[in-house]
Structure 1
Amino acid sequence: MAQVPAVADLEAQTPRLPAPAPSLGMQRTMPQVTSVNQLSDVRPTDWAYQALASLVEKYGCIAGYPDGTFRGNRAATRFEMAAALNACLDVISDRFASKEDLATLQRLAEEFSSELAVIKGRVTNLEGRVANLEATQFSTTTKLRASVIFNVSDVLTGTRAVAANAVPNRGPTIEDNPVATYRARLNFDTSFYGKDVLRVRIQAANMPNYGTVTGTNMARLSYDTNTGGQFTIDDLYYRTPLTNRLFLAFDASAGNFDKNVFTFNPLLQSDETGAISRFGRFNPLYRFGGGAGLTLRYTLLENKERGTGLTLNLSYQAPNAANPDRNTPNTNGLFDGAYAALAQLDWRPARNLAMGFTYVRSFGVGVAGGTGSRGFAGSAADPIGNNDNANAAADNFGFQFTYRPIQKFNIAGWVGYSNVYQVQGFTGPRPEAEVLNWAATFAVPDIWRKGDVLGLIIGQPPQTISVRNVSNAPGATFNSYHIEGLYRIPISRNISITPGLIAVVNSNSNSNNAPLLLGVVRTTFSF
């Protein structure tokens, strides 16, 4: 029980009753110990005062004055006595107190029962008010949340991947060295009325892009970025609920869809503690955009008791929103340039099962999210050739799910399909291509200790399954596979280490390419 505040105030609110004048007979028969319930003040000579002072000195029930002393030389009100007694009741236990002291404590509790009831009632009321304030308070200041990743990685085997129709040099292993790199992020979060958040994130990093080293984006890490060691603004957004059902997010920078909608891979979607590969986090269509935009999320149906519901997500992102130049082929600007517009329906038919149905209409942006085949016309990174995504539009469809049959096992997965076609800048038949990817993820949390996760990811990164009217395209071959294993080890609440392996078979949709194997150890600090 917390200290009873402002005892003097309680005293001021309590009427003092004058002690009745004893008759002569009473004086003759009165015992030496006066009953304290007849007094408004308890003096140092009274039995109750001396008994309580003895308990305080023996068991250290209260600290007394700021100098740590208990000044038992002045009269105390009944409420002051009750407050002190209440502190002793909280401290003294029958496990170590003597029978005599417990009997004294019981008698004191009976003598001051009415005052104890009043004090406990007022303290309970105060505690309720404090709990309400703590539950409804919000920060009017900016809070710092930070994360730092230390990475050690290396390509362990394989030759550099080449285009789908080329024959690689079956020479030595890719000539690279093990690297030790970092990424540091500082998030400054501000709330103006308790439920909203304005985030400004700056980051510095020197992580390698293994797509350049290996010749395929299928081998990229989930957290690869390189700012040359300089801090830059990486994220800037404002999020707020408009009603109990409607949520708004405005992105001023780096507004990918995955930051604002559910991606259905809850245990492995984080680049700090989840999948170690870029492809293994979520469906690549969530990476479209990357600029400024707006997201609305509306809860259509919800049953909190059953954990079921239906949510509609609408989002618009423009990667070149900060550039006013009306260029050719007109990919700049907020509304009249490159864009990606998403509509997603989240359906949760049961507490442990959720599914997402996604459609993205895009223009002037890639459809592989930096995860699939690359380096040739007809690849996932360049489906209509000539590196001409700026002239391409696409209809993109996605299905995602996550299922947790038992507490310590989660299954998730997705399928993504894109129909890409050129809309301007071509003569003759229109170039078109279809791109497909899928993945299944398995996560086992708390398998040996609380906070650990054992993960397995199997899938096929984005590859073209059909190519039409694209010059120099080798044709569509859907035969690349991604296999990833990892184990997150929590060292403490703020530190984790994740060793893992990434294997890519038939990279760039070319069975002549030797398998790639990457070894990674990621250490994450969060505070």
Structure 2
Amino acid sequence: LSYQTNTDDEFQIFKLEYRFPAFGDRVVFTFRPVNFSLNSVLTANSPYFDAGRGSISRFTDSSPIFKIGRLDSGLGFDWLITDKVRLQVAYGTRDSENPGKGPTGQGGITDAGHSAVGVQFLTVPFDNVLTGVTYINAYSEDGYLDTFTGSLNADTSGGLSIPANINAVGGTVQWRVWEKITLGAWGGWVFTNYINSDAHATSNTYLFSVGMSDPFGRQGDLFAVLFGKPLKLVDGDNGIEEDEDTSYHIETFYRYKVNDYITITPGFFVVTNPEHNEDNETIVIGVLRTTFRF
């Protein structure tokens, strides 16, 4: 689920962030030492990227390539180049406080066991269309993507558990067809190249969505239907096995606004051929989410 977590009965800081504008407010710098992800700077360009008010599953809230690395601290900037073009750059790490994790064994923010840098261009070709093109370069000490979407085989890049460089490219689009109807889509390719091996793994993913805001004249409500293919390993060699079959994810939900502070969201999603394996039975999960905002 998009909002599922385990705090082990401990109090945790969900968000600690410092932002400041510069250069005539056209550039915004961000530093987040806690709970950082590339999406902390790079716009997801998804109308459902909100754990409490957006989609109900982790896969559908945004492209999995933004989740690469399971980062926890980082920084970046968002530059409004023109009124229709933005450049966003983000860099993050995981467990950077632990020495001996990275390629040189020194640890730290530039030598962590898991790190990623992302670059994204956002453009507004038309007043009702927003597009994004993204490139991500990451290092993983075990070769894992750690997106927690798609098959385990894809998310572990074949499961060799040795250091790897990861490159990913993706695209996103939102098109407001009508005042209350928005079409969305995203897709991405991930290329894992193992450093001390000739093995490599290639995975891809995509999603299409349609959403209707304020249906039945109820302001604040949202109805959406989403369909996509979770991350799938489609090509590999030297010990990397491909996912043999194809899994599809179908999701729908209705966000009902009770008042300015409470929303209730019933929904469900279906996953066919889980793990991209036709021998696995279809999974159906129903959800009733209540969100309080103060």
Question: Which range, TM-score by smaller chain?
Answer: over 0.9
- Indicate whether 1:373 and 2:133 are aligned: no
**Structure 1 residue 403: Cα displacement:** 0.5
- Indicate whether 1:284 and 2:64 are aligned: yes
**Among candidates 302, 307, 314, match of residue 89 of structure 2:** 314
Match of 2:32 in 1: 251
Q: What is the alpha-carbon root mean square deviation over aligned residues?
A: 1.6
**Among candidates 241, 245, 258, match of residue 21 of structure 2:** 241
**Structure 1 residue 230: Cα displacement:** 1.8
Q: Secondary structure at the match of 1:380?
A: helix
Q: Secondary structure at the match of 1:272?
A: coil
Q: Is the 8 A contact 1:385 1:470 kept in 2?
A: no
Q: Is the 8 A contact 2:144 2:159 kept in 1?
A: no
Structure 1 letter corresponding to 2:131:
M
Q: Is the 8 A contact 2:137 2:168 kept in 1?
A: yes
Q: Are the structure 2 counterparts of residues 262 and 331 from structure 1 closer, same or farther at C-alpha, using a change threshold of 3 Å?
A: farther
Q: Are the structure 2 counterparts of residues 328 and 269 from structure 1 closer, same or farther at C-alpha, using a change threshold of 3 Å?
A: closer
Higher strand fraction (1 or 2):
2
Q: What are the residue-to-residue correspondences of 1:336-347 with 2, within 5 Å?
A: 336-337=111-112, 338-347=114-123
**Structure 1 residue 478: Cα displacement:** 5.1
Q: Is the 8 A contact 2:96 2:111 kept in 1?
A: no
Match of 2:175 in 1: 403
Q: Are the structure 2 counterparts of residues 277 and 522 from structure 1 closer, same or farther at C-alpha, using a change threshold of 3 Å?
A: same
- Indicate whether 1:227 and 2:1 are aligned: no
**Among candidates 413, 419, 427, match of residue 185 of structure 2:** 413
In 1: Cα distance, 2:21 partner to 2:292 partner? 30
Structure 1 letter corresponding to 2:214:
D
In 2: Cα distance, 1:347 partner to 1:226 partner? 37
Q: Are the structure 2 counterparts of residues 327 and 400 from structure 1 closer, same or farther at C-alpha, using a change threshold of 3 Å?
A: closer
Match of 1:462 in 2: 231
Aligned pair count? 287
Q: Is the 8 A contact 1:293 1:315 kept in 2?
A: yes
Q: Is the 8 A contact 1:439 1:457 kept in 2?
A: yes
- Indicate whether 1:351 and 2:127 are aligned: yes
Structure 1 letter corresponding to 2:145:
V
Q: What are the residue-to-residue correspondences of 1:23-34 with 2, within 5 Å?
A: none
Q: Are the structure 2 counterparts of residues 382 and 366 from structure 1 closer, same or farther at C-alpha, using a change threshold of 3 Å?
A: closer
**Structure 1 residue 328: Cα displacement:** 7.0
In 1: Cα distance, 2:239 partner to 2:76 partner? 35
Q: Are the structure 2 counterparts of residues 282 and 250 from structure 1 closer, same or farther at C-alpha, using a change threshold of 3 Å?
A: same
In 2: Cα distance, 1:271 partner to 1:328 partner? 31
**Structure 1 residue 284: Cα displacement:** 0.9
**Structure 1 residue 406: Cα displacement:** 0.6
Q: Is the 8 A contact 2:32 2:74 kept in 1?
A: yes
Q: Secondary structure at the match of 2:57?
A: coil
In 2: Cα distance, 1:444 partner to 1:368 partner? 32
Q: Is the 8 A contact 2:146 2:156 kept in 1?
A: no
**Structure 1 residue 431: Cα displacement:** 1.0
Q: Are the structure 2 counterparts of residues 281 and 351 from structure 1 closer, same or farther at C-alpha, using a change threshold of 3 Å?
A: same
Q: Secondary structure at the match of 1:258?
A: helix
Match of 1:195 in 2: none
Q: What are the residue-to-residue correspondences of 1:70-469 with 2, within 5 Å?
A: 221-243=1-23, 244-266=25-47, 268-289=48-69, 290-302=71-83, 309-323=84-98, 325-327=99-101, 330=105, 332-337=107-112, 338-364=114-140, 366-367=144-145, 369-374=147-152, 379-388=153-162, 391-424=163-196, 426=197, 430-448=198-216, 449-469=218-238
Deviations, residues 411-445 of structure 1 (Å, cap 9, x unaligned): 11100101111013x4xxx1101010000111100
Q: Secondary structure at the match of 2:60?
A: coil
Structure 2 letter corresponding to 1:292:
S
**Structure 1 residue 476: Cα displacement:** 3.2
**Structure 1 residue 229: Cα displacement:** 2.4
**Structure 1 residue 240: Cα displacement:** 1.3
Structure of greater Rg: 1
In 1: Cα distance, 2:101 partner to 2:166 partner? 20
TM-score by length of 1: 0.53
Q: Are the structure 2 counterparts of residues 345 and 478 from structure 1 closer, same or farther at C-alpha, using a change threshold of 3 Å?
A: farther
Match of 2:272 in 1: 505
Match of 2:285 in 1: 518
**Structure 1 residue 287: Cα displacement:** 1.5
Query: Structure 1: any 5+ residue segments left out of the alignment?
Result: 1-220, 303-308
Q: Secondary structure at the match of 1:233?
A: coil
Deviations, residues 53-94 of structure 1 (Å, cap 9, x unaligned): xxxxxxxxxxxxxxxxxxxxxxxxxxxxxxxxxxxxxxxxxx
Q: Are the structure 2 counterparts of residues 327 and 493 from structure 1 closer, same or farther at C-alpha, using a change threshold of 3 Å?
A: closer
Structure 1 letter corresponding to 2:259:
S
In 2: Cα distance, 1:295 partner to 1:498 partner? 33
In 1: Cα distance, 2:131 partner to 2:106 partner? 33
